[in-house]
Chain A
């Protein structure tokens, strides 16, 4: 039922292409990423280079949920940010729906993310001044969708994530689980092909986390979903788990 509603997006009808439907949604090949520490605040400290990812190759098919597992600093978030086009790796290719983001400009990456990638954050990051519906509708603003269509789309998404009676509530009036549901609904607003979720249950209790995972599993039915987490219960919901240590893939498919 959720899929039916989520695939009714006017934005998707405008943005989808044959290539987008046929290409592997997410493919990282030999991705490495380094960043410098900048030599201290005033340039007086040692100038160090930190390797966040080293020769990482992973992929995620449509309808598949891939879990990224590993301790803090192992490179999970860096992979999610690379898939979302929020950063360009030092080396390797990051293909999303057949487009290599590593060769695209910031504007092009943002445009692709806007239409094809939904993001769920650990801390929800909802705009506190806006209602749940307005938060969900935010990505559609950038797509130029008219207000009435934004509202009906956002209302439908909130109904589908079980928040029909919370449409006009502000984030502070919602529980943690409800906020994450709003964030998931927001990530689905543009009907993306790929969803990346960074510790989506990290701020939630076990029962609420289970509900959110069920929701993510449900919406991931015909999308590629990549979830980064420390939590075993969350990773158990994944079809495949990739384990990272110090930026290196140590196992894939566990």
Chain B
């Protein structure tokens, strides 16, 4: 067949397909909606995944640290995180003494009971840090400073500073403000022994943990948790000097501290995801199901349409149109539906992501839970085209099947 004849047929097939789609706008709209929903579910789930990863990275980036030393990937969202790093102040001091590291500090996490009434305490995640900084962006009050003596190993088994920073939601729940006193302990029994003064209101670590948290000096958290002796922390963060190679420092530390893993921020997030194969698999399964659902819905819809058109298709075959032209005519409709639905799905992604983020802010307090980088749109469009192609192939094949003489009688 010459190129000219092929071109004539392709254009004619496109024209007939377009006319068929235009003939039944409600059916076309339904099919477009089916594909759009499939694409939307892919883009929204992918956006959620991208947002969660970005939040993790942001959380780690917000700490503004280059390296993380821990025994396992740190899960900021896990409640009651273990504190596996032993002798953390000593390790931090060793790290700080290196020429290629400008500073290192341990961070501990522990669930605590906090409240204004010893008989009415709430369980909250607590973060123990050496100091607060400008990044806390205090809504009210300010931060605390760990006394230098703490760095020298002169730590006490009882809280020394007894100062605490509360998340705004915790402050609201307890109905306290800066200057007031709260009880803090790792059990309901021990909490009444320790009175802490609220010195600031900030959600800084809540964003990192994914829960409304309280922040207190590390030595004080160790004191109330009873880990002062072993000097436990969850991980140790470190910054390298400007002229140091971060990856090279990481490799050296990895060798120097074989009991621990040393990771960059990006590796930390990656390791967290690797630790959660079920979560990743669930996400991929949901995406797969949504794509399969979209394919099944659209293919069924078009198969039904093709079945209803069986006499026309048989007649067209009888007047001499080839099976290829018939399949092309019906298949082009499927492809058109797929691409159109894909574009609608991608276009709808933007406002829906915005809306869901708005809801997320008001419900759980997190911003940008869903993030849609260009790669997500690319995946969504690929799914749409893939869907369109599958639909085109299946319904085109069915068109050829239905173009039989029996359907003329």
Contacts and interface: CB of A to CB of B under 8 A. Distances in A.
B2 A144 contact: yes
B28 to A, nearest CB: 11
Interface string A71-85: 000000100010010
A24 interface: no
Q: Which residue, of B12, B19, B316, has the highest number of chain A Cβ atoms within 10 A?
A: B12
A147 B14 CA distance: 13
A5 interface: no
Given A134-B15, A142-B320, A146-B4, 11 more contacts: A77-B409, A113-B318, A113-B320, A127-B20, A127-B312, A127-B316, A128-B23, A141-B9, A141-B13, A142-B322, A147-B11
Given A125-B312, A125-B408, A144-B2, A186 B8 contact: no
Contacts of B16: 127, 129-130, 134
A190 B319 CA distance: 10
Contacts of A119: 318-319
A190 B321 CA distance: 12
Interface string A119-133: 101010101111000
Contacts of B22: 129
A139 B319 CA distance: 6
Interface of A: 77, 81, 84, 86-87, 110, 113-115, 118-119, 121, 123, 125, 127-130, 134, 138-139, 141-142, 144-147, 186-187, 190
Contacts of A81: 405
Interface string B353-385: 000000000000000000000000000000000
Interface residues of B, number: 31
B19 A129 contact: yes
A86 B318 contact: yes
Given A77-B409, A114-B320, A144 B5 contact: yes
Looking at B15, B319, B405, B409, the one whose CB has the most chain A CB atoms below 10 A away is B319
Contact of A110 (B6, B8, B314, B322): B322
A110 B324 CA distance: 12
Contacts of A115: 320
A127 B24 CA distance: 13
Contacts of B316: 127, 138
Interface string B219-254: 000000000000000000000000000000000000
A125 B325 contact: no
A141 B11 CA distance: 9
B321 A141 contact: yes
A130 B17 CA distance: 10
B329 to A, nearest CB: 9
Contacts of A114: 319-320
Contacts of B314: 125
A125 B315 contact: yes
A125 B19 CA distance: 16
Nearest to A107: B322
A130 B8 CA distance: 17
A190 B409 contact: no
Contacts of B23: 128-129
Contacts of A142: 9, 320-322, 325
A230 to B, nearest CB: 15
A107 B99 CA distance: 82
B281 interface: no
Most buried by A among B1, B315, B322: B315
A99 B170 CA distance: 92
A157 to B, nearest CB: 14
Contact of B9 (A123, A128, A144, A186): A144
B231 to A, nearest CB: 78
B311 interface: yes
B409 A145 contact: no
Contacts of A187: 319
